[in-house]
């Protein structure tokens, strides 16, 4: 996934969800610790460009690999790009922050979310 000042949150969200359809990616004003949630009122709108989240952002790539844990993925966005992200998983009709399962892989989280979606259809 390409990270640059010109890309919007929505573009990253679409690319992320194409790889992991049971998940969503959201961005926040502040950093969070592993297994910690982010308050909704600090969430950035999807239309915002990444350069507005971090004016000093240096462009780069981040691999979307299924075996990567949520904590490692969120941590890499934080450390390399100073972007404060949370992964959400579908659970019934809700999207929940994966705080208690940050050690699960992105693929495991996505499969769990997809199973929840299929169970409700």
Q: What percent of the chain has pLDDT over 90?
A: 76
Q: Report the alpha-carbon distance of residue 42 to residue 89 in Å, rounded.
A: 19
Q: Tell me what the mean pLDDT of segment 78-83 comes to.
A: 96
Q: Between 100 and 67, name the one with better pLDDT.
A: 67
Average pLDDT, the chain: 92
pLDDT at 32: 72
Which helix (H) or strand (E) segment is 16 a member of?
helix 9-19
- In this model, does residue 105 exceed pLDDT 80? yes
Sorted by where each begins, the domain ranges of the chain are 2-119
Q: Say if residues 70 and 20 touch (Cβ distance below 8 Å).
A: no
Structure confidence at residue 93 as a pLDDT band (50, 70, 90): confident
pLDDT at 120: 65
φ, ψ of residue 90 to 5 degrees: the values are -70, 130
pLDDT at 54: 95
Is 110 exposed, middle or buried, given 0-12, 13-18 or 19+ CB atoms closer than 10 A? buried
**Model confidence pLDDT, tens digit, residues 2-45:** 999 999 999 999 999 999 999 999 999 988 766 778 888 999 99
């Amino acid at each position: 996934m390409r990270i640059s000042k010109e890309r919007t949150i929505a573009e990253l969200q679409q690319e992320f969800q194409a790889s992991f359809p049971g998940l969503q990616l959201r961005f926040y004003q502040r950093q969070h610790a592993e297994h910690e949630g982010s308050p909704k009122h600090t969430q950035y709108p999807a239309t915002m460009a990444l350069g507005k989240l971090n004016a000093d952002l240096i462009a780069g790539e981040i691999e979307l690999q299924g075996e990567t844990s949520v904590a490692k993925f969120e941590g890499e966005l934080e450390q390399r790009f100073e972007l404060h992200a949370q992964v959400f998983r579908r659970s019934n009709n809700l999207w929940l922050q994966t705080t208690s399962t940050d050690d699960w892989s992105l693929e495991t989280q996505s499969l769990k979310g997809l199973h929840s979606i299929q169970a409700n259809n």
